Structure 1
Amino acid sequence: MDLFSLPRLGVVVPPENPTAEPEFNHLLGTGLNVYTARFPVTPGTGLRRMLETYNEVLPDTLGDFGGMRLDATVVACSASHYLLGPEGDRALCEELSVRVRHPVRSSTQAVLAACEALGIGRLTLVSPYEPWLTDVSRAYWERAGLAVDGVVPVPAGRTPAGTDQYDPYAVPLGRIRERVRAHLGGRRTPDGSALMFTGTGMATLAALRELAREEPGRVLLTSNLASAWWARRATGARGGPVHPLLRRLDAGIRRAA
């Protein structure tokens, strides 16, 4: 297939996110061409205000693609869309889709679509966020009709004062592995539930590969994995090999259908 005849996916990411583009490219393989725009830097702004700013400037950031034809766009920033709640999130995505004349979805809406396709009604959240933002995330999923069975906090490290330090972009693989395994305690995941890794900035592919080997039937979701699945569906992408985790998710959805 001609490289430039492939469907085109736009991805909007926070300026410091080092994870989204590499994970999208690994997950989607050669079936889609991925193009990115980044939210503006907001120096001296607290986290909540920064996330609010992302929602405010999202229409302009989508405009940074100019006149390039896109077949779909993913807004790869879960945290800003948690603040909107599921209703506001859906309304904003629908408004933007009309404006740019192609489907636009947030990573949070992509997760909800994947849960619906899988028949998932319960989540265990694996969260790299500060506690207040984890609470906002939990409230989002619960308002969307999903029960949250528990939360596995995954801090990036410890401060000199001995408190947890939260930075989704700096969480090491070993800490993800340690926290998740300690929470699961060898238990199998109940039917109708998923282990959901929140956010687009925490690198999760290696951890998910290990967890998938340990329990083949466990439903594993991340913001980027669900977004990649949605992007293939929205663009009608058919060609090219995709990542084993995306094939695994596709197989689970086929079984649930």
Structure 2
Amino acid sequence: MTRRIRVMIVVPENNTTIEPEISALCPALAPLAVARVKRPPRTLLSEDLPAYTEATLEAIAPFVNEPWDLVIYGCTAAGFLGGPESNERMVTSLRERTGAIVVSTASAMIDVLRGEGVAETAVVTPYLEPVNDGLRRYLEASGIAVERLNSFLCKTTAELGAVTEHDVIALARRTVTPSSRSLFVACSQLPTLRAIPQLRRSLRIPVWSSIRATAWMGAKAMTASGLPAPFQRAMSEI
């Protein structure tokens, strides 16, 4: 009998979405231990990264003496704001402290888009413009252009937490153009479990979210290590 996979997810303290959605998308990874990172009550900005990095390492400290197979660094904005090199440094730090395989949402975003063979994507976010600019730079540094970006422009975590799947679907449909090659919904707090399959069916292009990309990358990493963790792509499979 295959043993249970031990997974820790590292997320901003306000995040209520990523843990249940990853558990639904990849039940083999559940249950997930959750390390919650202290953060400002507003949208994360570049100048917050040093303090957020320190808070991340503090958040995982109570867990480091336990055996983990997989650690998920699940904050999209913290991953991309410092650029690919900064994201990789955090992944390395988490790996060194836990001894586990580590995947990050920012890296998963790039991997799924490359896997779909697209070099340009439409994007939906909840972020303010300085953060959206950071996302554009991160994607472009990875060889993926942003065709069009629309945002909820959430100023606080309370505003972010109030966004519904219906809101995500509506903004996504206003964002995609007839020439769009793909759509990515960025942010691991935005609810997308049922939204992504609906958008794929109606738009007929690859559609991914931060959470779905992270679940896919985590499942892929565990399967590569010999611990089967099938990823459920469609709602009919969940």
- TM-score of the aligned structures, taking structure 1 as reference length: 0.79
Secondary structure of 1:205 counterpart: coil
- 1:226: how far off? 0.8
Q: Which residue of 2 aligns with 1:56?
A: 54
Given that 2:10 and 2:37 are in contact with CA atoms closer than 8 Å, whether structure 1 keeps it comes out as: yes
Whether 2:229 is the aligned partner of 1:231: answer no
- Range 131-140 or range 112-121, more displaced: 112-121
- 1:174: how far off? 2.9
Given that 1:52 and 1:80 are in contact with CA atoms closer than 8 Å, whether structure 2 keeps it comes out as: no
Q: Which residue of 2 aligns with 1:182?
A: 174
- 1:100: how far off? 2.2
Number of residue pairs aligned between Structure 1 and Structure 2:
233
- 1:32: how far off? 4.2
Given that 1:13 and 1:37 are in contact with CA atoms closer than 8 Å, whether structure 2 keeps it comes out as: yes
Q: Which has the greater radius of gyration?
A: 1
Q: Give 1:1-257 correspondences, 5 Å limit.
A: 5-30=3-28, 32-40=30-38, 42=40, 47-48=44-45, 49-155=47-153, 167-184=159-176, 187=178, 189-190=180-181, 194-215=182-203, 217-236=204-223, 237-238=227-228, 242=232, 244=234
Structure 2 residue ranges without an equivalent (≥5): none
Closer, same or farther in 2 for the Cα pair 1:42/1:189, shift >3 Å?
closer
- 1:119: how far off? 2.3
Given that 1:75 and 1:106 are in contact with CA atoms closer than 8 Å, whether structure 2 keeps it comes out as: yes
- TM-score of the aligned structures, taking structure 2 as reference length: 0.84
- 1:183: how far off? 2.8
- Range 84-93 or range 195-204, more displaced: 84-93
Closer, same or farther in 2 for the Cα pair 1:61/1:14, shift >3 Å?
same
Inter-partner Cα distance in structure 2 for 1:99 and 1:234: 18
Closer, same or farther in 2 for the Cα pair 1:46/1:24, shift >3 Å?
closer
**Alpha-carbon displacement from aligned partner over 1:46-94 (angstroms, at most 9, x marks no partner):** 8435454222232332222132211111111111122210122123312
Inter-partner Cα distance in structure 2 for 1:9 and 1:246: 25
Closer, same or farther in 2 for the Cα pair 1:63/1:100, shift >3 Å?
same
Given that 1:13 and 1:76 are in contact with CA atoms closer than 8 Å, whether structure 2 keeps it comes out as: yes
Inter-partner Cα distance in structure 1 for 2:132 and 2:236: 26
Closer, same or farther in 2 for the Cα pair 1:132/1:220, shift >3 Å?
same
Closer, same or farther in 2 for the Cα pair 1:76/1:241, shift >3 Å?
closer
Closer, same or farther in 2 for the Cα pair 1:97/1:212, shift >3 Å?
same
Q: In angstroms, what is the RMSD of aligned CA positions?
A: 2.9
Inter-partner Cα distance in structure 2 for 1:39 and 1:246: 33
- 1:16: how far off? 1.0
Structure 1 residue ranges without an equivalent (≥5): 157-163, 249-257
Compare relative contact order (CA 8 Å, sep 6+) and give the higher one, 1 or 2: 1
Inter-partner Cα distance in structure 2 for 1:199 and 1:165: 14
